[in-house]
Amino acid sequence: MKNIVALVTGGNRGIGAKCIEEFAKLGVNVIINYCHHEEEARDLEKYIKETYKVKALAIKCDVSNSDEVEKMANTIVDMFGGIDILVNNAGISRDSLLLDKSIKDFKRILDVNLIGTYLCSKYIGKIMLEQKQGKIINISSTNAIDTFYPESCDYDASKAGVLSLTHNFAREFAPFVSVNCICPGWVKTGMNKELSLEQINEEKKKILLGRFAEPEEIAKVVIFLASSKASYINDSVIRVDGGKYNG
Ligand code: NDP
């Protein structure tokens, strides 16, 4: 995958950082989008350049802010001349009892997870359409399909919206840009740092493989969808959850 450019939103840590590294291993030039953790993003940028000898650029951008996303898209065209792959990975969760949720918190989840995916697909997708080629991979969640906990109803709604955006953008951008979606189950990242050992053990019992995923196990599916091996896969939703059932 030489001379290819990939943008991963929320690329500074967790699943996003593993996507960045897996792309770089293949010689892909990478753009590491982040929102709050600048040092983490700069450290990753340096590590990727030194280790894999590809171009790497960390860009601060709140994906829920239309002006910032448009500016990020313009910077990418100026610095890389175009873009081949977009991974809409940036996401947040904030669990609390359904009746206790503030509208402000609820909207923030929708803004980042759903509106962020929309804005990046819109502005980066425009560039891909002009190029007449590109691949968009959205990171949703099994919570988009199954209902596990009312505490994450805002997150679940945002991720169900990401499924809908996948299908709509796939139609809008066909036949030039493929749009696919991955629904991970539990993954070992900072997003789950609040879980107690007891909760983790309870959740593992509901997974056929009996464990949470390593972030690279999600990243490898992203790489597959971005590669020519997935040339006939479009408008698809793939669960990567180790066989998780809604118990
Ligand atoms: P992490 O909490 O480890 O990372 C989240 C990433 O999103 C960070 O890089 C963060 O950047 C970025 N981010 C947050 N808000 C914004 C914003 N407004 N604009 C741009 N970037 C932002 O999470 P994971 O790696 O676990 O999650 C990655 C994706 O996978 C998410 O969409 C999540 O919903 C999904 N997922 C995760 C699962 C899990 O069990 N971990 C399961 C199913 C889906 P910064 O640090 O700079 O804020």
Q: What does the pLDDT read at residue 246?
A: 72
pLDDT digits (tens, 9 = 90+) for 49-83: 999 999 999 999 999 999 999 999 999 999 999 99
Q: Is residue 18 part of a domain?
A: yes
Q: Read off the pLDDT band of 145 (50, 70, 90).
A: very high
Q: What is the CATH number of the domain that holds 51?
A: 3.40.50.720
Average pLDDT score over residue span 222-227: 98
What is the mean predicted confidence (pLDDT) over 142-148?
93
Whether residue 21 is contained in a domain is answered as yes
pLDDT digit string, tens, across residues 163-191: 999 999 999 999 999 999 999 999 999 99
Q: Model pTM?
A: 0.98
Task: Give the domain range for residue 191.
Answer: 5-240
**Residue 117 within any structural domain of the chain:** yes
Binning pLDDT at 50, 70 and 90, where does residue 3 land?
Answer: confident
Going by alpha carbons, the residue nearest to atom 9 of ligand 1 is 10
- Tokens of residue 215, six digits: 């972030």
SS3 state of residue 164: helix
Q: How confident is the model at residue 11, as a pLDDT?
A: 98
Instruction: State the average pLDDT for the chain.
Output: 96
- Please check whether residue 246 lies inside any domain of the structure: no
Catalytic residue among 52, 155, 232, 245: 155
pLDDT of 2 reads 66
Residue 20, pLDDT > 70, answer yes
Total structural domains within the chain: 1
Question: Among the residues of 66-142, which ranges form H helices?
Answer: 66-80, 103-110, 116-131
Of 61, 89, 137, 163, best ligand 1 pocket probe by most atoms within 8 Å of the beta carbon: 89
Q: For the segment 90-100, what is each residue's pLDDT rounded down to a tens digit? A: 999 999 988 99
Q: Is residue 108 part of a domain?
A: yes
Cα dihedral sign for 62, 67, 70, 71? negative
Q: For residue 62, give the ligand 1 atom closest to its CA.
A: 19
245 is a domain residue: no
Quick check: is 197 in a domain? yes
Residues contacting ligand 1 via CB (< 6 Å): 9-10, 12-16, 33-37, 62-64, 89-92, 112, 116, 139, 141, 184, 186-187, 189-192
- Say if residue 247's pLDDT is above 80: no
CA distances to 79, 115, 152, 161 from 99, rounded to whole Å, are 47, 23, 11, 21
pLDDT at 149: 87
Residue nearest to atom 4 of ligand 1 (CA): 14
- Residue 114 backbone dihedrals phi, psi, to 5 degrees: -100, -55
The residue-averaged pLDDT of 105-112 equals: 97
Distance between Cα 216 and ligand 1 center (Å): 14
Give the pLDDT score at 137.
98
Ligand 1 atom nearest residue 13's Cα = 9
Query: What pLDDT, on the 0 to 100 scale, is given for residue 151?
Result: 92
Question: Is 47's pLDDT higher than 90?
Answer: yes
**2-22 average pLDDT score:** 96
Judge whether 14 lies within some domain: yes
Q: Verify whether residue 123 is a known catalytic residue.
A: no
Quick one: pLDDT at residue 80?
97
Q: Which atom of ligand 1 is nearest to the CA of 36?
A: 47
